[in-house]
Structure 1
Amino acid sequence: MEAFDGQKANRISRVTLPRGSSEIDLASEHSIIEWRSGGHDGGGIAFGLDGMLYISTGDGTSDSDNWVSGQTLDDLLGGVLRIDISETSEDEPYRIPADNPFINLHDARGELYAYGLRNPWRLAVDALTGHVWVGNNGQDLWETVHLVRAGENYGWSVYEGSHPFYQNRRMGPHPLTMPTAEHPHSEARSITGGVVYYGLKWSELRGHYIYGDYGTGKIWSIKHDGEKQLALQEIADTPLAITGFA
């Protein structure tokens, strides 16, 4: 595994739950991947319909992308990773899929699937379409939601959502992809990514990505067909500090 010179790091591990037991065997921990931690860590994980493991990572700092990692491709920060853990060993805890978008780009980490995110808080995969969604915490003025696609650049920290931020910083090698949805801080302060709904109770919301906000308690739904947005609406205004959806 990577060394971070004594700094904190995020780690994703595989552990064993013995059959018939309710307690994880901690001695069975098998570390898969790590990335630096100094604040915004992401930390969402989900398997795609393609069998790959998708992981969200933040820019690693607590304010203003101080490591200037949002637009770089030579580390694992500020984006969504895609790795294959179907066959692992101590020497090779994961494999990089051959069709990952940056695998042949010089000095780029092949694990990266998309980049330019500040703190992608919660990641979900649509159980029918395979679409990958994240809610992304903004900084000064804007919160964003992204339908994540291979090779896209969401702009942080040259942009905050679709809006110029640190224009004196260098943009990565790919053009800005606009957020799928964005909310000003007058209605959202800390977006919490959610789930794609396929329940039976609210048929009008089937196939909608449901997400909310920790600061305001509002909940929205968005419908997307992979090419264009079909609907976006606020569906609840609650007193809750929303940290996740089940």
Structure 2
Amino acid sequence: MYRILIVEDDEKIASILKNNMVKYEFEASVITQFRDIMPAFIAYDPQLVLLDINLPYFDGYYWCRQIRMRSSIPIIFISARAGEMDQVMAIENGGDDYITKPIHLDLLMAKVKSVLRRSYGEYAAPSSSASSGVEGQSLAELAAGGLRLYLARNELAWKGQRVELTKNEQLLAECFMKQPGIVVSREQLLEALWDDVQFVDDNTLTVNVTRLRKKLEELGLPKAIETVRGQGYKLNMAEETPR
């Protein structure tokens, strides 16, 4: 039974969300102290967080960053703010998805189930070392031109340097590293990240690719992901391969 932490200061909405989670056989807990939610987060140890933006003391962006310092669990923002920039900020601060109020519960549950499947279910990155059939590479590791992706640890490594990835960043990196030098369409990337692509703003993909680019830049690979206008993106390691 997955544990869902609900961070919502409107008691009525929080109650509706909790009851709906329980209806679908999830365990759910509602935050009641908003000055510091981290003790409750640590104690409850959830597998997913539903996080409002407008909260007392500190907003949801702040708490998302605090959670990301400790955990890469899925975070879905829930907010009355419907602006594109709010959604971009949610993703840039570490969120995995975004849904606006008034909440359509069927859509919310579709997103919750989707992100749980990607993180823990049949679409989760495997941790075994069995063969994947991709040029003899193991399921636990992918390599392209000296760049290595450790799936079980959500890490990218290059020349002794390592960075930790969020779930979406890892899924994007996996798509690129399975096909280095080959254009991966935006449609392929959207399908890898979200089951219900019709609900996803195309700009959301751009933001996620930008975040992965920043991680690669931290490793010393600022130009590894190339934009192919009108087609998609490709991982270009030709100039970065160690000699």
**By the TM > 0.5 criterion, same fold?**
no
Structure having the higher helix fraction is 2
Structure having the higher strand fraction is 1
TM-score, length basis structure 2: 0.31
